[in-house]
Amino acid sequence: MRIAVYGGSFNPPHEGHVRCAQAVADFLRPDLFLIIPDYVPPHKDLANNSPPPEARLELCRIAFRSVSSACVSDLEFQRVGRSYTADTIQDLRLKYPEDELFLVIGSDMLFSFAEWHKYR
């Protein structure tokens, strides 16, 4: 199975996020497309007026409902503290040991990727 994984703070999810997800869905044609909002972003602090994590999760469900094979996951809400992509990928690798995972990141994170926790 081909699984695309698109994480981020999605604060809030917007048309750019949705267009990116739809382009990935069109190109990769994943069997499952996991949209995973982080609970506590590790790379940036959220503004004081940001929606709470649960609201961002619900906003993602609304925003990405038109993207084929997309499923919004609360995986990172099950952890305490900052949500690291490396931990999420490790969890997914355990859940889907035989499947092919594709990591999708926003352009805002592209240039800082080498600074991510366990980015390799």
Strand blocks (E) in 38-89 = 70-72
Delimit the domains of the chain by residue range. Answer: 2-115
Residue type (1 letter), 53: P
- The mean pLDDT value for 37-63 works out to 91
CATH 3.30.360.10 assigned to 2-115:
no
pLDDT at 45: 82
User: 22 falls in which pLDDT band (50, 70, 90)?
Assistant: very high
Q: What is the pLDDT of residue 106?
A: 80
- How far is Cα 104 from Cα 33, in angstroms, rounded to an integer? 10
